[in-house]
Structure formats: structure tokens, C-alpha cells
């Protein structure tokens, strides 16, 4: 198997300790010999000693889309791996993403986020990522761990960056692949209110993509969501699933109303 050189892009705006740990894990990965550079974009003052790390200081926090746009300008490799800064990735996970790009029709590889046990509502976060896993087995959809071919020239002002990547490569005729072995642990919201706000913001991002590009991801369809919920429903978790469904219905309803009234896609959050 011939592996291509790659770069890693990490937009960052908080939790300095985790970004340093994430960078260290990538630099010590068995496939780091194929790594050209790690590009970290942040409004915070970060310092990296390794020459493979390119740090771009933002004058102020301007939204993830701008961090992505700026970061991509400094990446020349054919493959980009984009990660959220709070991830704890498994060691050696890069090979699981890169191996799919030997197929020329593959444009995007999606990894599997898992909920970190940093919150009292860990159980709800775990459940939402378990549902995401079930959805991706049916039809891959963007997430916190995403690798793609470096052919996006001008990243737009969108809230849901991973959904735009989905849309772009689908439009270009590429295939998306889900790779659950490329997993990492991501922070859970600290409260139910935080969880609700997160779900509302995500839905607003989806509405923006639908308005701009007439594209809907798999879980925008209620029938698909119901199918995924049914797959995870059991006697042990029906209460949690019911609570999650109620939160999701309320978040989508409020998100729809908010976006229709304000037209604000919440680019900075």
C-alpha cells in the first residue's frame, strides 16, 4: 500500500493543555514520517518547539471557518487531516484514515468521535455519538475527525464546516468512507443547557448549508433519524433516548425559529 504525504489542520480557541497533547500524539505516530506539517490556528498564545508545527496566530477569534481557510493556505500536501483541538486520539490512528486514499474515488474519510468522561452528562454525549456511529454505518457524515483531499480552494463562511466538506466532495463526485477504527475522545458539554445549545447551534449550521447549497446531510431527514434511534433503542436506555429525543426536537425547533428570525448562522460560538 502506497501512502501519501499528509498535513494536519487544528483550529483551536481553548484548552491549551489538550492541544499540546494532541500535537505530541501526532508527532510520535508511526506514520509521522509521512507528515509534512501540523498547522495550528488560534487566537491564543501558543508555543511549539517542533519544526513540523506551523502556528498561525489570529488577531482575534473569528470563527472556525476562518481558521480553516487560513490554515489551508499553508498546506500543500494532497491529504489534509482536520481535527478538533480537544481530541484525545488513539495512538497509531492515522493509518486508519490514510489507507482509504489509495482509492482514487475516495475524497473524504470520517473518523469516530467518542465522548470523553469530563462531564456529568457524559451519558447523553455518549449516546449522541453512538447514534452518530450508527448513522455513519448507513451513510458517512462529517465529524470532529475528518480527512480529505486538498482540493478546496476557498473555504466559505459556514457554521457547519464538516457538512460543507461533505457537500463539496459529493458535488465533485467523490466517495466518503467511514472508518470507526480512527477514533478519539472529545469533550462533552458541562450541563444540559450547554448540550441543548450545542445541538441548536449544530442544527442552525445545517440550515445554513441547506439554504446556501441546497444540501442536506443524512440526519436532517426525520425518517433517517428515527431509523438510527430504533437501532439503539433498548430496555436499558429508553429513558435516555426519550430525553435525548425531546432535547433534539426542542433544539431543532428553537434553532429553526432563531435562524429564520435572525438569519444569523452563529459563525462564532
Is the residue at 247 inside a domain? no
d(CA 217, CA 208): 12
- Asked whether residue 79 is assigned to any structural domain, the reply reads yes
Domain coverage including residue 138 = 6-189
Tell whether 225 is covered by a domain: no
Asked whether the predicted pLDDT for residue 235 surpasses 80, the reply is no
Would you place residue 265 in the very low, low, confident or very high pLDDT band (cuts 50, 70, 90)?
confident
10 pLDDT higher than 90 = yes
- Taking residue 54's Cβ as centre, other Cβ atoms within 10 Å add up to 17
| Residue at 268 is within a domain | no
Q: What is the reported pLDDT for 2? A: 60
Read off the CATH number of the domain in which 64 is found: 3.90.550.10
Is residue 212 one of the residues assigned to a domain? no
Domain-embedded: residue 152:
yes
The pLDDT score that the predictor gives to residue 31 is: 95
Q: How many domains does one find in the chain?
A: 1
- Confidence band (pLDDT; 50, 70, 90) for 136? very high
Instruction: Give the predicted TM-score (pTM) of the model.
Output: 0.94
Residue 116 lies in a domain: yes
**Is 254 a domain residue?**
no
Amino acid at each position: 500500500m502506497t501512502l501519501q504525504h499528509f498535513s494536519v489542520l487544528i483550529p483551536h480557541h481553548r484548552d491549551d493543555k489538550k492541544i499540546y497533547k494532541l500535537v505530541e500524539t501526532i508527532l510520535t505516530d508511526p506514520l509521522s514520517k509521512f507528515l509534512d506539517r501540523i498547522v495550528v490556528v488560534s487566537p491564543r498564545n501558543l508555543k511549539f518547539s517542533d519544526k513540523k508545527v506551523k502556528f498561525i496566530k489570529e488577531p482575534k477569534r473569528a470563527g472556525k471557518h476562518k481558521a480553516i481557510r487560513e490554515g489551508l493556505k499553508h498546506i500543500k500536501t494532497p491529504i489534509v487531516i482536520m481535527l478538533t483541538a480537544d481530541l484525545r486520539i488513539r495512538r497509531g490512528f492515522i493509518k486508519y484514515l490514510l489507507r482509504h486514499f489509495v482509492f482514487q474515488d475516495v475524497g473524504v474519510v470520517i473518523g469516530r468521535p467518542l465522548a470523553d468522561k469530563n462531564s456529568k452528562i457524559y451519558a447523553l454525549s455518549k449516546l449522541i455519538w453512538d447514534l452518530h456511529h450508527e448513522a455513519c454505518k448507513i451513510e458517512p457524515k462529517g465529524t470532529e475527525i475528518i480527512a480529505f483531499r486538498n482540493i478546496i480552494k476557498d473555504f466559505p463562511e459556514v457554521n457547519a464546516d464538516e457538512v460543507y466538506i461533505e457537500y463539496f466532495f459529493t458535488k465533485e463526485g467523490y466517495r466518503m468512507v467511514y472508518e470507526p477504527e480512527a477514533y478519539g475522545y472529545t469533550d462533552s458539554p458541562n450541563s444540559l443547557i450547554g448540550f441543548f445549545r450545542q445541538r441548536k447551534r449544530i442544527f442552525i449550521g445545517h440550515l445554513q448549508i441547506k439554504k446556501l447549497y441546497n444540501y442536506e446531510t443524512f440526519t436532517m431527514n426525520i425518517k433517517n433519524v428515527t431509523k438510527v434511534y430504533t437501532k439503539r433503542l433498548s430496555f436499558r436506555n429508553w429513558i435516555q433516548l426519550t430525553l435525548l429525543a425531546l432535547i433534539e426536537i426542542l433544539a431543532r425547533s428553537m434553532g429553526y425559529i432563531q435562524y429564520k428570525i435572525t438569519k444569523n448562522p452563529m459563525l462564532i460560538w
